[in-house]
Amino acid sequence: MFNVERWQEIFETLRKNKLRTFLTGLSVASGIFILVILLGFSKGLENGVRSEFEGDATNLITVWTGVTTKGYKGLNPGRYVQMKNDNFDLISEKYKDNIDHKSSIYSIWGAQITYNNESVNYRVRGVMPGQQFIENASLVSGRFLNEPDLEESRKVAVIGQRLKLDLFKNEDPLDKIISIFGVNFKVVGVFTDPGGEREEQQAYIPVSTSQKVFGAGQDIRNMLFTIKMSDNFEEATQLSNQMALAIENELKTIHTVAPDDQSAVRVFNRLDEARKIYSLIATIQAVFWFIGIGTIVAGVVGVGNIMIIIVKERTKEIGIRKALGAQPNSIIGMILQEAIFVTMFAGLFGLVFGLGLLELVGPQIESDFLKYPQVNFNIALTTVFILVFAGALAGFIPAYRAAKIKPIVALRDE
């Protein structure tokens, strides 16, 4: 294997048979290349979806209401269902064993927020302390809203990083006073949210304050709950589904909404959505793997096929070599070593080319569902070795047969 003379002989043969070498290499390199790209995109898809779900807690149940579309128990359709504080308290109390974090919301869209001479129009959300965990938000400075803020309806605000930049530039915002629609609020914290800039433009204030300041009485717009996660994803999804259904029914009963009214009370169960999308991704990945393995199999068959042709084409040469005193082993070795060298080289080339392309194009891709396509290098390298090994195995049989050909028969071959 490490015989310098043999390598010289092989390199010479390869150099003198450029087309054959190129074609063999091309089939192997393109196989690996396609596999790398496929695996990369499959990973990118997964990354994209994961980051979509990263913005908020996965185990989130969101409740919002709308207008009834069906008459029920003497009530006309077209009635707006307004959730109240006591609805939220009732559900929180009833399902407290299953609820991790909770938040009721009363938000103002496009609220005018002013600091000194700077003024912007962003969303202000009246929330509860649990919102921080529901949004996966983390604090850059200061603190988040707390229970006393809520109980005493304090005029405090936690502002997003973007909002902070817009209003305060480089100034420290903590304990400064901002005005929302002319009402003064003290900034107690700055947060960052993986959901991105849109989330970071918001200001959070206590929901009780929001209701008082904006004259909403006991009204709330949304209810958010995260359910306690068990280790078993399926179990958690099931619990989440049950919760979602129970909350929906509860609210429908309270507000006298027809059980089959789809628009009056709506409950969005994120975990169930996540499960669906993850299972979709798992299916897509399985398909990609299937195609990838198919490509490898095709590559192996291709290499084996080329090996057979090479041996056929070189029958006469093998006869000459044998007549000149080549040992059968040296014939097998020559053909195999050549095949392994070409597949290995081409395979690595395809690998590097594929990885390079992913590296180059990957960051340019701006799609919500495709992010950072990348390949596990070890997996890719393993496939190269599998291909080389299988190719060598596929080549061994014709090589072995070639070595067994009687020189006199091989010499007659034209």
Binding residues vs other proteins (CB under 8 A):
5, 8-9, 12-13, 16-17, 316-317, 319-330, 403-404, 406-408, 411
User: Minimum Å distance from CB 2 to other proteins?
Assistant: 15
If the CB atoms of residues 55 and 407 are measured against other proteins, the closer one turns out to be 407
Task: Tell me whether residue 7 or residue 181 sits nearer to other proteins (CB atom).
Answer: 7
- Least distance to other proteins, CB of residue 408, Å: 4
C-alpha distances in Å from residue 243, one per residue of 104, 131, 186, 254, 348 = 17, 19, 37, 16, 52
CB of 398 vs other proteins, minimal distance in Å: 17
Residue 177 token pair: 């006073």
Tokens of 144: 């988040």
**CB of 323: closest distance to other proteins in angstroms?**
5
Cβ 297 to other proteins shortest distance, Å: 32
Give the nearer residue to other proteins in terms of CB position, either 192 or 330: 330
- Judged by beta carbon, residue 25 or residue 129, the one nearer other proteins is 25
DSSP for residue 230: P
**Distance, CA of 27 to CA of 33 (rounded, Å):** 10
Instruction: State how far the Cα of 131 lies from the Cα of 107, in Å rounded to an integer.
Output: 13
Question: Smallest distance, Å, CB 311 to other proteins?
Answer: 15
Q: Is the separation of the CB atoms in 368 and 278 below 8 Å?
A: no
- Pick 228 or 406: Cβ nearer other proteins: 406
Residue whose CB is less far from other proteins, 309 or 326: 326
> How many other β-carbons are positioned within 10 Å of the β-carbon of residue 300?
22
Q: How many whole angstroms separate alpha carbon 58 and alpha carbon 303?
A: 47
Q: How many CB atoms lie within 10 A of CB 252?
A: 19
Using DSSP, state whether 24 is helix, strand or coil. Answer: helix
Backbone angles phi, psi at 150, to 5 degrees: -70, -50
